[in-house]
Structure 1
Amino acid sequence: MRVYIVHGFDSSPDKNWFRWLEDKLKKKDISVDILSLPNPQNPNLTKWIATLDSSIKLGHETYLVGHSLGCITILQYLQSKAQKTNTKAQSMTDKKNIIIGGFVLVSGFYESLSILPQLDSFLKPPLDFTALKALSPNRVVISAKDDMIVPTELSKNLSHKLSAKFIQTQNGGHFMESDGYTEMPLVLESLEAMFKK
């Protein structure tokens, strides 16, 4: 099994709870890659997808973890991979060539963020949720009620669109170091549940 962790806006592999999760998974003999995305202070979707494309090996035992902007980056990447393999004039849901074990999206969104309008470029093209649901049997979205960056309703909307399990905590903010989060047991537990299926 292999887990890929995708950080968000103005972040890096060494921030928040990413190294903690890496350590916990490696102790279980699971391969982990925390991707370092280019220019995180001024992110570009095309360049971020290219990084995922060159780093991730898709397969039944591949699991993706995203935080914040990393979540929609994962979804746009998966959608682009599905479209590239769909050479015939049939819907992506008819071809299930691209399948991953599962994904966990922390503080994810697919709608515009009022406080970060510069990230709107990541919202296009629109996501094909029917196709995305067909790519993985295990989908989890995690959000805190007091998230001031990505309002919890936006994460809830994403979970509904993906027919994903929605885990909502009373507090936690945006699950960053500044919110006191250098560990993220909920993500580890969600992954472990997927591994057992």
Structure 2
Amino acid sequence: MTSEQQPNIKVYIIHGYGAGPQSHWFQWLKQQFEAQGIIVYVPALPDSEHPVKEQWDECLKQTIGVPDEYTYFVAHSLGCIALLDYFRQLEPRPQIGGMILVSGFSTPISGYSLINPFVGNAFHPEHFIAMTAQRVVIAAKDDPIVPFAQTEQLAHDLEARFITVEHGGHFLDSEGFTELPLVHEQLTAMINP
């Protein structure tokens, strides 16, 4: 399926803690897909330096609404569990096109207690597994923020394809990541199987 045949394809890029729509590789990825005629949203989640789960939930609700099988998601770091928890609240849970979670986690991160409310709800991977067959989790073995093992556990729980990178850190612009071709390749493969 190409974007010309299916004009309803949408991509949402969900940023994490301390970030925003202009951070890291988000705008680069947005431009890659917009060049193919795909609609891309990078919502600005409120006060990302002091994230409040309820405010992020409301922003995702207002921005995404109810996704469908032509909707794809890329999330980074705290954006991963924020997105999954948003999905958890949707009843009935919709079918989506696919999701790519980069440097994600579903358990508390040492030293970041302010994000604990995001991981406080019971995590039921079967909910998300049922939403799409296209699930990819990406992690770097040298991530200094989210321990590699926690992202690996997230991939295992979601029965997702787990892609590891030897040297990627947390995939931040401060680490040199203003582009992330790996995510572009994976998402392109999901949209055009």
TM category, shorter: over 0.9
Whether the aligned pair in 2 keeps the contact of 1:115 and 1:149 (CA below 8 Å) is: no
Identical columns (%): 39
After TM superposition, the structure 1 = structure 2 runs for residues 1-197 of structure 1, keeping only pairs within 5 Å, are: 1-56=9-64, 57-81=66-90, 84-85=91-92, 98-197=94-193
Deviations 1:1-59 (A, max 9, x none): 10001100011100100000000011111110001001111101111111111111400
- The one-letter code sitting in structure 2 at the alignment partner of 1:20 is W
How much has 1:63 moved relative to structure 2?
0.4
CA–CA distance in 1 between the matches of 2:59 and 2:124?
21
Q: How many residues align?
A: 184
CA–CA distance in 1 between the matches of 2:122 and 2:24?
29
Deviations 1:69-108 (A, max 9, x none): 0000110011111xx33xxxxxxxxxxx511001000000
CA–CA distance in 2 between the matches of 1:186 and 1:116?
27
The alignment partner of 1:104 has SS state of strand
| Structure 1 ranges of 4+ moved more than 2 A | none
Q: Report the TM-score when normalising by structure 2.
A: 0.93
What is the root-mean-square deviation in Å for CA atoms of aligned residues? Answer: 0.9
Q: Report the TM-score when normalising by structure 1.
A: 0.91
The alignment partner of 1:20 has SS state of helix
